[in-house]
Amino acid sequence: MEQKIPKFIRILLPPVWLVIFLCGEAALFRWFPGTELIARPWNYAGILPILAGLAIAVWAERLFKRAGTDAIPFRNIRAVVIRGPYHFTRNPMYLGMTLVLFGEAILLGTVTSFLLPPLFMFLITLLFIRREEQVMEGKFGAEYLDFKRRVRRWL
């Protein structure tokens, strides 16, 4: 199933959106911090989801490379990867990015910093995940549909 992908989606790939949202969290913290939810030193716990998110995303990306498929959305899709983190999420790279955002929100520790991670999840689902799922269903049929039935989109 060949699908026309809008140019802005091909340019503004998920890692670019991640950087935009990380900067957005920092800007909200700077100009509209809101109520402090997590005080120092407890906010340093945000390092854990950041490290976990990076580890999950890198692990998933390496599994893609081993399978001979591209981690860049909509390019060179050659396999349905079902090992490693794909046992508990269909989108470990996006989950990893979201964990990085939640980690930064914890580090910043204010109410406003927690506004952007759910918005990021919504945006990634709308712009990328739904389209990727359509492409995968068209290319791999029953194999992907079975994977989709067994494994949740996020967690």
How does residue 1 score in pLDDT terms, banded at 50, 70 and 90? very low
Average pLDDT score over the chain: 94
Length of the chain in terms of residues written: 155
Q: For the whole model, what pTM was predicted?
A: 0.93
Kindly report, residue by residue over 40-53, the tens digit of the pLDDT: 999 999 999 999 99
CB neighbours of 29 closer than 8 A, spacing ≥ 6?
A: 108, 110, 112, 113
Q: What is the pLDDT of residues 70-95, one digit of tens each?
A: 888 888 899 999 999 999 999 999 99
Q: With bands split at pLDDT 50, 70 and 90, how would you rate the model's confidence at 3?
A: low
Q: What is the pLDDT of residue 5?
A: 72
pLDDT computed for residue 67 by the predictor? 94
Task: Grade residue 100 by pLDDT with cuts at 50, 70 and 90.
Answer: very high
Distance CA 62, CA 86 (A): 12
Q: Among 15-19, 73-77, 135-139, whose mean pLDDT is lowest?
A: 73-77
Instruction: Show Cβ contacts of residue 89 under 8 Å, excluding neighbours closer than 6 positions.
Output: 95, 151, 152, 153, 154, 155
Token pair for 82: 């079902």
Strands (E), the chain: none
